[in-house]
Amino acid sequence: MLTTLRSLAAALLISAPGAQACETALVLAMDVSNSIDPAEYRLQAHGLADALADPEIAEILVRDQVALAVLQWSGEDRQQVTIGWAVMLSASHVAQFAEAARSMERAFVLSDTAPAPALHRALDLFGSAPDCRRRVVDVSGDGTPNAGGSTGAASRRAESMGVTVNGLAIEAPGKSVAVTNFYTRRLITRDGFVLTSRGHRAYPETIRKKILREISRIVS
């Protein structure tokens, strides 16, 4: 399966026309640490696929020839590019990418939560990305760090690169906002934002709203 996903990404990237047309390069960085059970992982993978296939989002992805990549992360030395850079040139490209996201295998199990090295790995990916006007990392997760050190250096590195870092915080049902507060204060860049999903079942709709906001042009 992993070979198939890499082949898909390579085919879509190679088929890209001049990079001038690309509006946004977006890394979707998914937490698959020990706190994510198998059912919750499926909610994340299927929710991401459904969001990308949403007609409003799909239209923007193609119009702006958005480049996408998916990174799964967990512990300090646990980051894997599940789907490499792919440029959305047509509705069929979006459908292929969405289906690849839906069927992708989980990269790690029984591992810590280390967002700092995950963010560094996501930033490294821009070294091979198309030359898009905007560069964005979308980090989603349901916990605060228990490994990997401080995220401050990674966030500052993103800002120095001109990369926007946004967060999707998955909180337990109730009133806790620990993950939201961590993402807001320690992870995102100054031009970034955080959306909160109250439980994994709310993730599909939250990721749809988040991607739509990330890829939409702001016209003043």
Pull the structure tokens for residue 10. 């390579």
Residue with the two structure tokens 């320690």: 186
Q: Burial code of 11-37, b = ≥16 C-beta within 10 A, e = fewer?
A: ebbeebeeeeebbbbbbbbbbbbebbe
Given a cut of 60, whether residue 220 has pLDDT beyond it is: no
Backbone angles phi, psi at 87, to 5 degrees: -95, 130
For residue 42, tell me if it sits in a domain.
Answer: yes
**Looking at the 3D structure of the chain, how many domains does it have?**
1
CATH number, position 115? 3.40.50.410
Global confidence as pTM: 0.91
SS3 per residue for 191-204: CCCEEEEECHHHHH
Q: Write out pLDDT tens, residues 115-143.
A: 999 999 999 999 999 999 999 999 999 99
What is residue 28's three-state secondary structure? Answer: strand
| Separation between Cα atoms, residue 53 and residue 99, nearest integer Å | 9
Element (H, E) at 24: strand 24-31
The pLDDT of residue 17 is 43
Rounded to the nearest 10 degrees, the angle between the axes of helix 38-53 and helix 55-63 is 60
With DSSP H G I counted as helix, E B as strand and the rest as coil, what are the percentages for the chain, rounded to 5? 45, 20, 30
For residue 130, tell me if it sits in a domain.
Answer: yes
Given a cut of 60, whether residue 219 has pLDDT beyond it is: no
Sequence-distant (≥ 6) Cβ neighbours of residue 71 within 8 angstroms: 27, 28, 29, 30, 79, 80, 81, 82, 118, 121, 122, 125
For residue 150, tell me if it sits in a domain.
Answer: yes
Structural domain of 74: 2-12+21-215
Mean pLDDT, the chain, rounded, equals 92
Range with the poorest average pLDDT among 7-11, 40-44, 71-75, 208-212: 7-11
How would DSSP label each residue in 92-139? HHHHHHHHHHHHPPP---S----HHHHHHHHHHGGGGS---SEEEEEE
The pLDDT of residue 142 is 96
Pull the structure tokens for residue 151. 């995220």
- Contact between 149 and 175 under an 8 Å Cβ cutoff? The reply is no
Length of the chain equals 220
- Contact between 154 and 163 under an 8 Å Cβ cutoff? The reply is no
Given a cut of 90, whether residue 33 has pLDDT beyond it is: yes
Nearest one of 96, 218, 203, 204 to 164, comparing CA atoms: 218
Q: Write out pLDDT tens, residues 145-198.
A: 999 999 999 999 999 999 999 999 999 988 889 999 999 999 999 999 999 999
For residue 158, tell me if it sits in a domain.
Answer: yes
For residue 220, tell me if it sits in a domain.
Answer: no
For residue 101, tell me if it sits in a domain.
Answer: yes
For residue 122, tell me if it sits in a domain.
Answer: yes
